[in-house]
Amino acid sequence: MKLLISCSEEVRAALQGGQPVVALESTIISHGMPWPQNMETALALEKIVREEGAIPATIALLDGRIQVGLSAAEIERLAAPESEVVKCSLRDLAVVLQRKALGATTVAGTLFAAAGAGIRFFATGGIGGVHRGGEQSLDISADLPQLARSQVAVVSAGAKSILDLPRTLEYLETLGVPVIGWQTDEFPAFFTRSSGQPVAHRYDSEEHLAKALKIQWSLPLPQGVLVANPIPEAFEPEAEPIQRATEQALAEAKEQNIYGKALTPFLLSRVEQLSGGLSLSANVKLVENNARLAARLARAYAIS
């Protein structure tokens, strides 16, 4: 069977030449942000990665293949409000490929494709995790186990407080995934820099973190690494309105019996509406910040 992971010419050449490449997910485009900010952000992330001297590789399912590295027109297909895009975690990949449908990859789906293509760095906003009440519902994102089997460093602003952060960290520990605080001792809570949860390890220098990643994968350990990068202080929104919006969104999801793959997109869009867009501008800034760090780490790794 033909290999279903297909790299753009630019990404293929960069990987072959040992140049730094940064993977970017597409569910944040299709299900994580509204139009037109989703399109603008997706393009801004690619630009930031390039400015930092790396090659961006946004990943999605197109016409029966997993495409690594998209054109602006392909990104627009994922972003356009009239497009029908399937949110693709691992369990959805084969079916969406068989149907040749348009699919956006979650962190789990993107990790699988990035590792398959040989990409070591991946920037996103926030990863999925253990949902609140997850000890009962067993709603634990496939992002966590896939992080345990993909040798990729994921730069994220921690995880949103729509999730149960202490249990998410416990689960990552069980899976053997290192969680590294980037210039912080605390796991960030996406919109806010602090969650009250400590991280086990901290790095302040790209060069030293890149060396630790080299060691991780030369041991070799099968796990990826979660780099927790707090939102810059200048963009940190006021915590209270977002907290209130989060509580209300969670209550509405319960009332309306929303669960499964619909839950995260529902919570993301309700928090955004209920906070009057406050969360969206912060979301854009933190994901840009993550793309910058991922590109810098990819560069440090390439020369280490």
Reduced to 3 states (helix: H, G, I; strand: E, B; else coil), residue 227 is strand
Question: Per CB under 6 A, which of residues 147..166 are in contact with ligand PSU?
Answer: 160
Q: Which residues pair with 186 in a beta bridge?
A: 198
Respond yes or no: is residue 25 known to be catalytic.
Answer: yes
Q: What is the pairing mode between strands 121-123 and 21-24?
A: parallel
Q: Is 290 in the site for ligand PSU (CB under 6 A)?
A: no
Handedness of CA 279, 281, 285, 288 (dihedral sign): positive
Q: Which of 25, 92, 186, 272 binds ligand PSU (CB under 6 A)?
A: 25
Q: Which of 25, 46, 139, 288 binds Mn ion (CB under 5 A)?
A: 139
Which stretch in 20-28, 36-44, 146-154, 181-189 sits in contact with ligand PSU by CB under 6 A? 20-28
Catalytic residue among 87, 160, 261, 285: 160
Contact letters (x/-) for ligand PSU, 224-263, by CB under 6 A? -------------------------------------x--
Question: Per CB under 5 A, which of residues 78..97 are in contact with Mn ion?
Answer: none
* Closer of 15 and 128 to ligand PSU (Cβ): 128
Taking Cα atoms as reference points, which of 1, 16, 115, 121 lies closest to residue 64? 1
Distance between CA atoms of residues 225 and 129, nearest Å: 15
Taking Cα atoms as reference points, which of 161, 177, 165, 157 lies closest to residue 275? 161
* Closer of 46 and 139 to Mn ion (Cβ): 139
Residue 158: count of CB within 10 angstroms of its CB: 34
**Structure tokens belonging to residue 211:** 């060396």
Q: Is 288 in the site for Mn ion (CB under 5 A)?
A: no
* Closer of 8 and 110 to Mn ion (Cβ): 110
Distance between CA atoms of residues 263 and 285, nearest Å: 24
Strand segments, DSSP code E, in the chain are 5-7, 21-24, 55-62, 65-68, 86-88, 103-105, 121-123, 153-156, 179-182, 201-203, 225-228
Query: For the CA atoms of 157, 158, 160, 163, what is the dihedral angle to 10 degrees?
Result: 170
Question: Per CB under 6 A, which of residues 45..104 are in contact with ligand PSU?
Answer: 89
Q: Is 143 in the site for Mn ion (CB under 5 A)?
A: no
**Residue 125 interacting entry, from ligand PSU, Mn ion, none, C-beta within 5 to 8 Å by type:** ligand PSU
Respond yes or no: is residue 160 known to be catalytic.
Answer: yes
Interface ranges with Mn ion (CB under 5 A): 139
Interface ranges with ligand PSU (CB under 6 A): 25, 27-28, 32, 89, 106-107, 125-126, 128, 141-143, 160, 190, 261, 264, 268
User: Which of the residues are catalytic?
Assistant: 25, 160
